[in-house]
Structure 1
Amino acid sequence: MSEPAVLNAIMVAMKNLSYRQQVISGNIANSETPGYKARDVKAPDFSKLIDASLTRTSPRVSAPRVELTPGMMALGMQPVGLNNATILDKDISETKPDGNNVTLEDQLMKMGDIQAKYTALASMSRKLDGFMSKAIGVKV
């Protein structure tokens, strides 16, 4: 029996948040390393999961396609589709004279956001498990 698409999406999102937590922890650990650039993790692409769950009669959902202009690249935008999941963090507020751009306050805010999202996903997973158990008549 295969997993429901919702449960699969929750698991993918939780794994992504776990990896993102590791990357943010690395940023904090290197906050005093000269020249270190803060990193972040790309959000998972759920369009494949959505496409797989839609029937032929349902409308299709796909990621928007954007052509990068030289002006957008000058602002730091990068093409999407790089195989690398770790990217340079674009949400930086300052760069120190030694080239390090890790701001502890920003990184701690991101950690709090990750924790809140992970907790919400874990709660959704437990509720979904409870619903499925009730549906098949198993007491939890």
Structure 2
Amino acid sequence: MANLLNGITAAMRHLGARSEVIASNIANADTPGFKARTLREPDFGALVNGRSGGPQRPMVQVTSRMAELGAGKRGAERGVVDRTITETKPDGNNVTLEQQLLAMGEVQADYATLTSLYRKQMGLLKTALGGRGG
């Protein structure tokens, strides 16, 4: 049960970080040369099976050009360049608002699912503790 709760916690943290990266992408949709970022999916199977100390946050080296474009600010150090985006505007920016909004919708749906799982697990724990104590 603890591994499940740890997995839910790690997944919620990942979703929070992912929503920050998506928000940064949306905020920079008109910034020339900005490249959309994403987070690598953590290996939650390894977390649940005890093979890992938890998901690892990817590290990004901020170049001087990236710093000029605003990288290094809160949330900007999170993520890696999203290689799945195929459309690039003439100014070098590859953020597609439709893709970012779809990604944010996925984050919201996943968060709702994890919240429901968490509530159910807490309900089971309360039932188990209440059954022993009373």
Scaled by the length of structure 1, the TM-score of the pair is 0.71
Q: Residue 119 of structure 2: SS of its match in structure 1?
A: helix
Match of 1:58 in 2: none
Following superposition, the deviation at residue 91 of structure 1 comes to 2.3
Counterpart amino acid of residue 86 in structure 1: G
What is the percentage of aligned positions where both structures have the same residue?
Answer: 47
Which 4+ stretches in 1 moved above 4 angstroms? none
Q: Which runs of 5+ in 1 are unaligned?
A: 54-80
The residue aligned with 2:18 is 20
Which deviates more, 85-94 or 118-127? 85-94
Distance (whole Å) between structure 2 residues aligned to residue 121 and residue 14 of structure 1: 7
Given the two structures, how large is their TM-score scaled by the length of structure 2?
0.74
Per the TM alignment, residue 46 of structure 1 is displaced from its structure 2 partner at its CA by 2.3
Which residue, 102, 105, 109 being the options, matches 2:98? 105
8 Å CA contact retained: 1:10, 1:121:
yes
2:28 aligned with 1:35, yes or no?
no
Look up the SS of the partner of 1:52 in the other structure.
coil
RMSD: 2.1
Question: CA separation in 1, counterparts of 2:34 and 2:3?
Answer: 39
CA gap of 1:94–1:126, structure 2 versus 1, over 3 A, is same
- 1:110-140 CA-to-partner distances (Å, cap 9, x unmatched) read 00000000110011001100011101107xx
In the alignment, the residues of structure 2 paired with residue 121 and residue 112 of structure 1 have an alpha-carbon distance, to the nearest angstrom, of 14
Instruction: Tell whether the 8 Å contact from 1:36 to 1:99 is kept in structure 2 after alignment.
Output: yes
Counterpart of 1:136 in structure 2 is 129
